[in-house]
Structure 1
Amino acid sequence: MARGHLCTEREQTVSVSAQGCAQVTNLRARVVNEHTAEENVRARQPLCALGSLSARSVSDSCSLGCKGFWHSGGVARIMCICFVYKVDKGEPKVIWLAGLHVPESYLTALVQAACRKNGWPLDRSTLYTKVTPFRSEVEVTDRPKEGCFASGLYLEGADWDMEKGCLMTSKTKVQVVELPILKIIPIKTHCLGLEDTLRTPVYTTSTRRNEMGVGLVFEADLCTNMDISDWVLQGVCLCLNTDM
């Protein structure tokens, strides 16, 4: 079921990326043409008359930058889903959640697959997370029997202590850090006993919402040896995308 969801994600990504490539190409050509026209006008007009020409060119350049940023993310999605992941031959060892159009659907599919496999009631099952000691996907040798490994999560408002395996105070002037690879595990609700754990919201972007106004993806479990209220007051959260 989770593999089928990845196949759907791959098809959507290829379609959207093809449209994005065409838009970026057309926009780049338009900006280049207008820049050439501006240079021709600049050669014929005095400096005092050039003020009105800069606003539009800056606007188009900004649009091109935004399109370029989106396009680079789209290319990364294609590489991860179509080429690296090769979902037709099996699910990947590590999932890049930010590369999925709707990561919530994939997580729901994980729970449904575990319930079908183990005979659990779906309404009494949930997800539990555990931060692994792996910093890179290269360190992961195989995917877990239940659930998945997820990469590309960023911790905001705190830091992660690799030795103690828990949250720690952020370093000076460092607001966002990359979290080690996270293990997401389906589990029955009554078996979930959390102590000294912060239920940390995972958002799509650092603004804590996407363009559709939807931000919360799921809640991750992060160990802590400090009072949970301290982290809540600091606004600790996880993001799938960051501006750093």
Structure 2
Amino acid sequence: MIEIRDLHCYYGAIEALRGINMKIEDGAITCLIGSNGAGKTSTLKSISNVVCRTGGIIYDGVDLSHLRDIQIARQGVIHVPEGRGVFPGLTVEENLLTGTVNWHGLFGKGRYDQDLAEVYELFPRLQERRNQLAWSLSGGEQQMLAIGRGLMGRPKVMMLDEPSMGLAPLVVAELFEKIVEINRERGITILLVEQNAKLALKVSNYAYVLEQGCILLEGPAEELRYDPRVVSAYMGTGAH
């Protein structure tokens, strides 16, 4: 579904990605793992075109290289950023409705009601707190809200950046069950950036290991999960 060709990413004079090549298969969960600063988040930002980058990004036959970020979102490539990024002064439901901004004029309110119902079915706690301000939610609930807002954009591909960050293990386990459900039951392709390498490899079909802006390893996630190099480097303290 997405093919990345010779992708470079820059922050001023710093080159964060150094000519990486990747394929994100339709209907799969693909994960990016690596140490801090390896280029994982930069890969997602490059696909969304919110950083300076060069190279080819082909999505479902369409070249995204010269499209603006909102145009890319309208193609169905939705980015759920690191740190959740909810609007603290808006209610849960208002936050969810901001996810429909890309579709203004395309669907009536009835379409939004159906999308809201589907998000609330996936995350019942959001429905219970629909009139609560986002700042008052727990970290796990805010992450659910961020993912729910992404779903309101009706994605074909959802890019999730560090969804487990700062969350308790039980909350992380619940959240990842929902991510797998989004993929398997809704048919949404997932590109997952995750510091918890063991968990990411457990739920993914294919994986890339990034280091210093380059792809160090790639392969079926089940194989990399037991690769001694991956186990030694990325599955220490903090893996669940």
Q: What is the TM-score when the length of structure 1 is the normalising length?
A: 0.24
Larger Cα-atom Rg: 1
TM-score, scaled to structure 2:
0.24
